[in-house]
Amino acid sequence: MITFTQQSYIFHRMKRQLLLFSILFAIILSSCQSGSMVLLRSNEFAFDTSAATADSIDAEGGFTIVSDITLADFLADAEIMSIPGVLSVKLRHHDPADIAKQNYPAGPMPDGRVPVLEAALTLYPPEGASDMTVGVPLGLLPEPWGAHKMVLQFTGVAWEMYIDGHLVDRDYAFGYPRPEAGAALVFDNRYVGASSLYSPCLEARELPASAKEYKEAQYFNPRGHNSWVGDVATIWYNGRYHVFYLLDRRGHQGKFGRGGHYFEHLSTADFKHWTEHEAATPIEHQWETMGTGAPFTWHDSLMISYGMHTSRLYPYEQTASPREWEHIKEFGCSEVIPFDALEEGFYPSGTTFSVSRDGVSDFEKSRIILHPSENPTIYTDPDGRLCMLANYASRGTWTSDDLRGPWSCISEDFPPGGDCTFIFTWNDWQYIVGGFTNMWKKPVSAPIEDYEDVVAKGLDLYDGLCVPSITQIGDGRYLMAGWVMVNGHWGGPLVVRELLQYPDGTIGSKFMPEMMPLTSRGRLLERTVGDNGLGAQTLCRSFLLTFDVEPASDGKLSLCLGTGERSCLWDLDAATARAQFSNDGSQQKSIREGGAPHYAGNYAIENIQGLDSAFTVRVVVRGEPKWGGSLVDVEIAGQRTMITHRPGLVVDSLGLSASGFAIKNVRLMPCKQ
């Protein structure tokens, strides 16, 4: 029998153990960064195959092929299914070094090989026959070898491949197949079992996700081996931060090189928990391909403006733009043109918009053309007037009393340049950011003639992000969002920065606390870095590196990531207030000097502040097979950031050295992915 005294002893012992466990858990928890995650939409689909099968294809009505396939390791490339003159489905070995267009090396097998399953559909756009290819690297499938259900679908708008109910690739069609009479489905029964052809096409019905799927918000890139974030447009509305981005597939090579872009949509209320919504402006017709725009509010409704890049598909004379310009020339204002008011053979082009039905997502297209600009920025000025900065296929500042127009030009020469421009006001300053390399500012009270070119003074905010969008959020902070160019093609991962403003209106940038990567506790590499520097193995592909720096007016430091010709060298020089990425330490150029940070390669930034007192450097290294290398993202003194993508770089080691500066507390924390 346990006495009361023994019970009391056991109780207090358990209480002490519980307290110690709680303290230990709190220490471990506090030593880890918390992640910011996007809850993805379902990527699971079903097809109702109860419809009657078909013997031939209705080209404009589309078709669906449902097949049972068995994949086994193979030596020689093989055509496993075809419709002569229409379709060819192949298994083939892809070059592991070839990341162009389809980016198949994003899904290698464990031995480094890249076998792929792909389907080429022959379409006939106006200039003649072209093959449109969709496919998947088999290394991305949970179980590559064995039985699978493959669905190939041409909807008349899109060409799609589904494997085991999951969409694995899509391209947007331009033109239709031309099946010959009697053309039949042929397949190799070594790989293909039961197959059924349906025409018109079946409906792909989205199913609830069988399991929740997340991606980290910082450095977010969409699901799929060849899909990327393109131009970004942001807004804060009713307590939520919205990110609209042009979904890019194949590095601007979708839709036979015409783009095939449209706006996807993410949002968050707290920057920790993000939601991937349905597309805000889905492609619904072959003539649609969309350009950059801007979200805005009007009559307390959330809207997004954007441009139709129809002249990339059809001759300019067959678009609505000549009619718009004729109206502007005759009446001094734009014409509102409903899509269905155009004669047969003519297609909408220029500015249009969509409206959220519920104030969060669920966007409805207006289906009207407002203006010939194909990259419009619509906003409300301090007096509540609707304004538009017209870019691409137009220029100038335009205004209207009503969203549906007409729109009249109030300044032909403003903004002074750039494309995909965004305007914002912060305290006593007004700014315009234009595309990849342009930025201007002026006091709010000054006339537009007083805008100064801050790029020419080396005081711009460009840090490797492309086409940045700036938004004030609910707590008064300002955020910048953009995309990082990967492997030299258009589109890449999403990056969000927190901005800071100096009294003279200059803007700096830093990592946003809520969006720091999820890391484990990590290890201290060195308490104090000596004269011989520091060398260490990273033991992981993605990590957060931090170190403290004691100031020196002539201080210099150098961080080398990786070894060999693909290594990345980052240098900081206090005397010149410059930092740069390079391969070998050779001097790089800032934008002012002719450099190109938007290519996210080797470049410099200048006029860095905060180096005259003790400061911290934080470096995030993120490596992913999809990127074909690593991102290196640096924050300097909590006041400037810069990012680069290094093709082929796997950071397995690092070296850190300094002169003048004293470097302390070097810590490496692996990222959890």
What are the structure tokens assigned to 110, written together?
Answer: 């464990």
Q: Which residues contact 341 (CB under 8 A, 6 or more apart)?
A: none
Q: What's the confidence (pLDDT) of residue 451? A: 93
| C-alpha distance from residue 552 to each of 189, 611, 651 (Å) | 73, 8, 29
Mean pLDDT within 441-454: 93
Cα 344–350–352 angle (5° rounding)? Answer: 95
- Is 70 exceeded by the pLDDT of residue 23? no
CB 77 within 8 A of CB 94: no
Cα separation of 411 and 400, whole Å? Answer: 13
Q: What's the confidence (pLDDT) of residue 9? A: 41
**pLDDT single digits (tens) 194-212:** 999 999 999 999 999 999 9
pLDDT band at 18 (very low <50, low <70, confident <90, very high): very low
Q: What's the confidence (pLDDT) of residue 418? A: 74
Mean pLDDT within 458-472: 96
Q: What's the confidence (pLDDT) of residue 350? A: 97
**What values do phi and psi take at 316, rounded to 5?**
-50, -40
**pLDDT single digits (tens) 580-632:** 999 999 999 999 999 999 999 999 999 999 999 999 999 999 999 999 999 99
Q: Characterize the bridge pairing of strands 130-137 and 114-123.
A: antiparallel
- Is 60 exceeded by the pLDDT of residue 22? no
Q: What's the confidence (pLDDT) of residue 383? A: 83
Q: Of 641, 580, 575, which is closest to residue 611 (Cα–Cα)?
A: 575
- Is 60 exceeded by the pLDDT of residue 662? yes
Q: Which residues contact 534 (CB under 8 A, 6 or more apart)?
A: 525, 526, 654, 655, 656, 657, 663, 666
Q: Is 464 left (phi over 0), alpha (psi -120 to 50) or beta?
A: left
**pLDDT single digits (tens) 382-425:** 888 899 999 888 999 999 999 998 999 999 988 877 788 999 99
**Burial bucket for residue 23 (CB in 10 Å: 0-12, 13-18, 19+):** exposed
Q: What's the confidence (pLDDT) of residue 181? A: 86
pLDDT band at 306 (very low <50, low <70, confident <90, very high): very high
| C-alpha distance from residue 534 to each of 80, 515, 561, 562, 659 (Å) | 55, 29, 12, 13, 13
Mean pLDDT within 7-25: 41
Q: Of 374, 375, 394, 350, which is closest to residue 469 (Cα–Cα)?
A: 375
CB 358 within 8 A of CB 326: no
Cα separation of 218 and 67, whole Å? Answer: 38
Q: Of 96, 100, 99, which is closest to residue 110 (Cα–Cα)?
A: 96
Helix/strand/coil (H/E/C) assignment for every residue in 136-150: EEHHHCCCCCEEEEE
Cα separation of 21 and 101, whole Å? Answer: 52
Which amino acid, residue 302?
A: L
- Is 80 exceeded by the pLDDT of residue 183? yes
Please state, rounded to an integer, the average pLDDT across all residues of the chain.
92
Alpha-carbon dihedral sign for residues 188, 191, 194, 196: negative
Cα separation of 480 and 483, whole Å? Answer: 10
Q: What's the confidence (pLDDT) of residue 438? A: 93
Q: What's the confidence (pLDDT) of residue 415? A: 85
Considering only 138-142, 377-381, 498-502, which range has the smallest mean pLDDT? 377-381
**What values do phi and psi take at 536, rounded to 5?**
-155, 155
- Is 80 exceeded by the pLDDT of residue 572? yes
**pLDDT single digits (tens) 92-125:** 999 999 999 999 999 999 999 999 999 999 999 9
- Per cent of the chain over pLDDT 90 is 87
pLDDT band at 577 (very low <50, low <70, confident <90, very high): very high
C-alpha atoms less than 13 angstroms from C-alpha of 278 in its C-beta half-sphere: 12
Q: What's the confidence (pLDDT) of residue 414? A: 85
Single pTM value for the model: 0.93
Q: What's the confidence (pLDDT) of residue 25? A: 37
**What values do phi and psi take at 487, rounded to 5?**
60, 30
- Is 80 exceeded by the pLDDT of residue 1? no
pLDDT band at 34 (very low <50, low <70, confident <90, very high): low
Q: Of 265, 57, 261, which is closest to residue 172 (Cα–Cα)?
A: 261
Q: What's the confidence (pLDDT) of residue 561? A: 97
- Per cent of the chain over pLDDT 70 is 95
Cα separation of 338 and 531, whole Å? Answer: 71
Q: Which residues contact 5 (CB under 8 A, 6 or more apart)?
A: none
